[in-house]
Amino acid sequence: MTDSWKLTLRCNRAEAEALDTESAALAAIDPLPVLMTREGVEDDPDSWVLEAYFEDKPRAEAIRAVTSLVPSHVGKRPQPQRIADADWVTMSQAGIEPVHAGRFYVHTASNRGAVPQGAKAYRIEAGLAFGTGQHQTTTGCLLTLDAMKARGAVVRNLLDCGTGTGLLAFAAMHLWPQAFAAASDIDPVSIEVTRENAAANGVALGVNRGQLALAVAPGLDDAMLVGRAPYDLIIANILAGPLIALAPSIAAATAEGGTVILAGLLTTQADAVAAAYRRRGFRVAGRVTLGDWPTLRLVKRQRFAPLRASA
């Protein structure tokens, strides 16, 4: 196996969350590096790390391109580190601890650990799509789904909008195995990753009950997704801005009495996101907060009964 190289940059959480992997600067690098972000110091928003993995020693222009993604690091001189005779993908995942959230257990191939009794295990590799279960937004969604099932919620038609790795769609399908299920993402890579993860975890793809239908789409802008509406469960673990922008289309696609789970927002953004959905007929029915990351559970109100005639 040939040597690989790693470039480590200090950054902050805002930069890590806003990382632009489609930037023109990166497009000039061939082959593209694999980028991974993580907390350097737990719960410290100013202590995050960006790691870029290269197949060969990166040239100066490649280092400048990656450094430009995290402005707080501009002006510093990062030094690439050789990873000799190592499978860097496995190595990069070795420190990812399994996540146990409700009845779900999420792990990588290199760090499975002991699956808790009664837990549903999913193997989700860290890589090009968001949603390994490690981030508090994903964990919050898993806990919210678990609590819905525990309360006896019935779901017949569900959508995971912005699916990333497919994990949240898989979890919802496990809880409601006879439901129609769909997952979408604006990034074609995410949908390909979801296909691979579905195969690895025994999740059937297709358009029938108990199968997952996939679509590359911005939000719900896809004929298949619109045609399958209304949904009685929509999960959207994205970012606050897109969640607000999608409020009209998500509301239009949600059945009366249906549930929407929103995540990817910070505590400081929760009121604005909730307000956007209240204006579309939702009420906040529950909230799970992990660190600075809340997960909102909203329910679409039933229409008001017709006004009584005056006496």
CATH number of the structural domain spanning residue 24: 3.30.70
Check whether residue 284 and residue 155 sit in a common domain.
Answer: yes
Check whether residue 138 and residue 225 sit in a common domain.
Answer: yes
pLDDT value of residue 96: 52
- Say what angle helices 167-175 and 188-200 make with each other, to 10 degrees: 50
Q: Does 104 map to a domain?
A: no
Is 160 known as a binding-site position? no
Q: Does 12 map to a domain?
A: yes
Question: Mean pLDDT score of the chain, rounded to an integer?
Answer: 84
Q: Does 123 map to a domain?
A: no
Residue 121 and residue 101 in contact, taking contact as beta carbons nearer than 8 Å: no
Q: What's the full length of the chain, in residues? A: 311
Low-confidence winner among 36-40, 111-115, 151-155, 193-197 (lowest mean pLDDT): 36-40
Check whether residue 274 and residue 206 sit in a common domain.
Answer: yes
Low-confidence winner among 27-41, 159-173, 213-227, 230-244 (lowest mean pLDDT): 27-41
More confident position, 308 or 97: 97
Is 237 known as a binding-site position? yes
Q: Does 305 map to a domain?
A: no
Q: Which of 34, 69, 93 is the last residue before a domain boundary?
A: 93
Whether 161 has a pLDDT exceeding 50, the answer reads yes
Alpha helices per DSSP H over 45-150: 60-67, 88-93, 136-150
Check whether residue 135 and residue 88 sit in a common domain.
Answer: no
pLDDT band at 2 (very low <50, low <70, confident <90, very high): low
More confident position, 93 or 263: 263
Low-confidence winner among 2-11, 203-212, 255-264 (lowest mean pLDDT): 2-11
Q: Which of 67, 93, 119 is the last residue before a domain boundary?
A: 93
Give the structural domain span for 279.
130-300
pLDDT above 90 as % of the chain: 48
For the chain, how many structural domains are there in total?
2
Sheet containing 99-101: give its strands across: 99-101, 104-107, 120-123
pLDDT in tens, 228-246: 999 999 999 988 888 999 9
Check whether residue 88 and residue 157 sit in a common domain.
Answer: no
Helix (H, G, I), strand (E, B) or coil at 300: strand
More confident position, 218 or 130: 218
Residue 282 and residue 310 in contact, taking contact as beta carbons nearer than 8 Å: no
Check whether residue 83 and residue 156 sit in a common domain.
Answer: no
Low-confidence winner among 92-96, 139-143, 243-247, 295-299 (lowest mean pLDDT): 92-96
More confident position, 255 or 21: 255
Q: Does 307 map to a domain?
A: no
pLDDT value of residue 86: 46
Check whether residue 136 and residue 86 sit in a common domain.
Answer: no
pLDDT band at 26 (very low <50, low <70, confident <90, very high): confident
pLDDT value of residue 22: 65
Question: How far apart are alpha carbons 85 and 91 in whole angstroms?
Answer: 11
Check whether residue 155 and residue 29 sit in a common domain.
Answer: no
Q: Does 9 map to a domain?
A: yes
pLDDT value of residue 89: 44
Provide mean pLDDT across the span 200-222.
Answer: 96
- Fill in the amino acid letter for 238: I
Tokens 């995971």 identify what position? 160
Q: Does 106 map to a domain?
A: no
Helix (H, G, I), strand (E, B) or coil at 48: strand
CATH number of the structural domain spanning residue 155: 3.40.50.150
Question: How far apart are alpha carbons 112 and 90 in whole angstroms?
Answer: 12
Written as six digits, the tokens of 67 are 């450094």
pLDDT in tens, 180-204: 999 999 888 889 989 999 999 999 9
**Among 277, 271, 283, which residue's Cα sits nearest to residue 249?**
277
pLDDT value of residue 135: 66
pLDDT value of residue 300: 96
Provide mean pLDDT across the span 103-129.
Answer: 81
Helix (H, G, I), strand (E, B) or coil at 192: helix
Check whether residue 250 and residue 182 sit in a common domain.
Answer: yes
Q: Does 109 map to a domain?
A: no
Whether 31 has a pLDDT exceeding 50, the answer reads yes
pLDDT in tens, 43-101: 778 888 888 878 788 888 888 888 888 888 766 778 888 865 444 444 444 445 688 89
Is 185 known as a binding-site position? yes
pLDDT band at 288 (very low <50, low <70, confident <90, very high): very high
Q: Which of 93, 122, 144 is the last residue before a domain boundary?
A: 93
**To 10 degrees, the CA torsion angle through 185, 167, 69, 266?**
100
Helix (H, G, I), strand (E, B) or coil at 107: strand
Question: How far apart are alpha carbons 168 and 209 in whole angstroms?
Answer: 17
